Amino acid sequence: MTTRVAAAIIGIVFGVVLSWSGMSSPEVIREGLLFKSAYLFLFFGGAMLTATAGLALLRRRAPRALLTGERIGWEPVKPERRHVIGSAIFGVGWGVACVCPGPIATQLGQGIWYGVPTTAGLIIGIVLFRRLQARVAHDPQRTPAASVIPSTLAGDATA
């Protein structure tokens, strides 16, 4: 219960910041990817550096998670083919539609209707992936692309 409330509050902060930064606008993403504006890279870089410094500090100073009491820690994931292939497929959608999963959600929240067909596709994408995963678990030999769709994804906590 408390973890759900906390996660929802983190989500609200995340949503306000993404919206306020203009990330729901395809033009903001596109001008970043075309190097016409430095904002996207500075925003992303600032977030990544803060997160990196914060996690490094947690690893040294915070032995247990505040709400769950769980030991704070994680294992680095080794790169596999699926990280390249999956990210390349994602990159095509990102480049054309100028949104990733966070901005798709903020478009919905801000009432930008263009986010609706993108959301429908995203949901179908997840369902397709789960079906492929089930097929790989059932019959790996006869499933196409079985090497990039393992039945369980070790290391990706949220995948």
Complex with other proteins: residue 10 or 139, whichever CB lies closer: 10
Are the C-beta atoms of 104 and 122 separated by less than 8 Å?
A: yes
CB of 78 to other proteins, least distance (A): 6
Complex with other proteins: residue 43 or 137, whichever CB lies closer: 43
Q: What's at 11, amino acid-wise?
A: G
CB of 34 to other proteins, least distance (A): 6
Sequence-distant (≥ 6) Cβ neighbours of residue 90 within 8 angstroms? 100
CB of 138 to other proteins, least distance (A): 17
Q: What are phi and psi of 71, to 5 degrees?
A: -65, 130
Complex with other proteins: residue 79 or 141, whichever CB lies closer: 79
Complex with other proteins: residue 77 or 138, whichever CB lies closer: 77
Are the C-beta atoms of 115 and 104 separated by less than 8 Å?
A: yes
Q: What is the dihedral of CA 36, 39, 45, 51, to 10 degrees?
A: -150
CB of 139 to other proteins, least distance (A): 19
Sequence-distant (≥ 6) Cβ neighbours of residue 80 within 8 angstroms? 148
